[in-house]
Structure 1
């Protein structure tokens, strides 16, 4: 282990790539499942693909927690530099793309219509589906700022176990308050605290507290990397079996009608929560192995670096393909899915790079490489 933590960390590259691919896949499948009349195929396969690959955001949150605590553990932080970097790389492109999506959605340049919707979309990530992850990512960085010292001192495996069951408990509280209520007749608009409770249920996926366990699991893995690697490697077979069992269980509940399609999409359900956690633990050794293969490491590293590009821009690319391209192609639905899946990432990366201010200030030229000092070895006579 490189104790000064300089250089690169390859363990998570494949996990980032897989997470981005899972998000892209479910959004492609989501379009085709809504357009069965125009693009007929097996809707059960499409639905199961969406259901079983819906854990992408949890993978990102785990990886975010791990990277933050791996790179910055026990270091004095320059918080101004920390937030400045995120402003350039995350916030500014997010603002630009939120504006693009808002204009596309409203099809208006009237400031009285555009500005209120833009500001609301900016805060909530609602300008296009799945963009709420960007405000959520910033919340996680704020959580890191507030809890860094506490996590470094107090985050232990027993505390993780407590957070695991606490996360399930939060789901059960919401379920028996709002979905299958044990107490009827509550007027959720009668008091600000009750309104806040209802809001936290309806919009829970937008807030960091609903992902506290997986962020904390990532933090634990980042703080104790060698222990984490040893643990998941030793238990990779049991975790793989557990993942398979829960995947079959979730699929069987949907196919048998015991769970509706909407219920099966709930990643906070205890079954899905355990499924996601076991998948994370089972896939981590695979990600670490792939990330350290010389033939793949460079390719995975580049794709992982552009993870945010795929996440932020892919709705726009899919919108263009779905609205203006694929209906002109007399191809089968599986072929259309495959083609959209392959061509979307490079288009996302191309457009994302063009939203950087630095790209335009350089006149479109590539970023210059840092010069390395030349060391000349000599042999004395």
Structure 2
């Protein structure tokens, strides 16, 4: 849109994408028996400490949109047309695909084409087509709200605004976690038979796919996009504090895992809940530290030849990778046996490579580009022909557009 490209966002996007694929791959292993209790602890802690990918993507979405559109007249037709082609249409297509995949494995069934259409429409509305599609539904909500938000959200004191958002976010997640998760049965019993029973039950089911549930991340990203240079300077001046905060937050998450889950027998769903106040603080610390790390890597061109195509195809990889993992876990590993530690590395790596390749193929053809949305808008997103050129600038300065 005429503004310099934010190179570090590519690195942060790829980092978030990798962690999402990792927890989707490793989550399957939690259902399998292990030889050592220490292996199980390592698996569970790995999944628990990597549950921040969605938060990274939400922060990036707020940052990029406000960076690009603030101070400009928003063309609503063009804005929503792009989101329709780049997100909404792929969402409804992949919802149908994953419903068919579920049926092929015996996880789901319907009667006739009319039954399929009814089920498909229900899943389009609630994001239940597959476990990862809820995020697309949240993003669509944010895009619908964005024209009003970009007009209203113009803070003059970004530091104070950030503190207020962080504080209100902490209060929101404390409310969510302790009322809607830890005390869900008591809250449900308290409102039973009252007009609040319906809305409360609905929140229990769908709170993880509502925009308000993640609004702090979008707003903090928006604030960073509005004041990008100030945000970068603040990170450089406070990196030691941010790293210390990350260590403390990670220690808190790990301590809760051992105390509440291992010692007191807390349900696993509560242990890994993204609405835990500790996970909220930990996610903010991750975003802060790794944005600065991404800035550092971008300025040195570290693996830019690889990061750029992965970032360009991040939506396609996100939509595709669960299907690749499903095929691996349902069929492929029945014939190929690898050590567990090697499988934990190779499977997510293979899912990313295969998903990226398919996304590139679909996005390179104008007749299939609509299937992967944003990936299709970036031509030659895997520039193997320019590999030597990328190698030559590996240690150069960051690009400006």
TM more than 0.5: yes
1:249 to 252, 270, 289: 252
* In 2: Cα distance, 1:272 partner to 1:196 partner: 26
1:377 is matched with none
2:205 is matched with 202
Output the TM-score relative to the length of structure 1: 0.87
Q: Trace 1:82-93 onto structure 2 (pairs within 5 A).
A: 82-93=79-90
How far off its partner does 1:209 sit?
0.5
Instruction: Determine if contact 1:93/1:355 at 8 Å carries over to the other structure.
Output: no
Distance 1:188 1:56, change over 3 A: farther
1:190 is matched with 194
2:329 is matched with 322
Distance 1:114 1:282, change over 3 A: same
Q: Which moved more, 1:159-168 or 1:17-26?
A: 159-168
In the alignment, does 2:357 pair up with 1:350? yes
1:152 is matched with 154
Q: Trace 1:1-381 onto structure 2 (pairs within 5 A).
A: 5-36=2-33, 42-107=39-104, 110-152=112-154, 156-178=158-180, 179-180=182-183, 185-188=189-192, 190-191=194-195, 193-256=196-259, 257-258=263-264, 259-353=266-360, 358-360=365-367
Distance 1:189 1:173, change over 3 A: farther
How far off its partner does 1:17 sit?
0.3
What number of residue pairs does the alignment pair up? 363
* In 1: Cα distance, 2:98 partner to 2:37 partner: 29
Output the TM-score relative to the length of structure 2: 0.83
| Unmatched tracts of structure 2, length 5 or more | 370-375, 381-401
How far off its partner does 1:147 sit?
0.8
How far off its partner does 1:180 sit?
3.0
Max radius of gyration: which structure? 1
Distance 1:183 1:353, change over 3 A: closer
Instruction: Determine if contact 1:310/1:345 at 8 Å carries over to the other structure.
Output: yes
Distance 1:238 1:156, change over 3 A: closer
How far off its partner does 1:197 sit?
3.1
Distance 1:194 1:355, change over 3 A: farther
Instruction: Determine if contact 1:291/1:300 at 8 Å carries over to the other structure.
Output: no
SS at match of 1:314: helix
How far off its partner does 1:350 sit?
3.0
Deviations 1:32-89 (A, max 9, x none): 1112269998111111110000011000000100000011110111121112122222
* In 2: Cα distance, 1:101 partner to 1:337 partner: 24
Deviations 1:285-326 (A, max 9, x none): 101111232353343222111111121111111001111101
SS at match of 2:190: coil
* In 2: Cα distance, 1:247 partner to 1:25 partner: 18
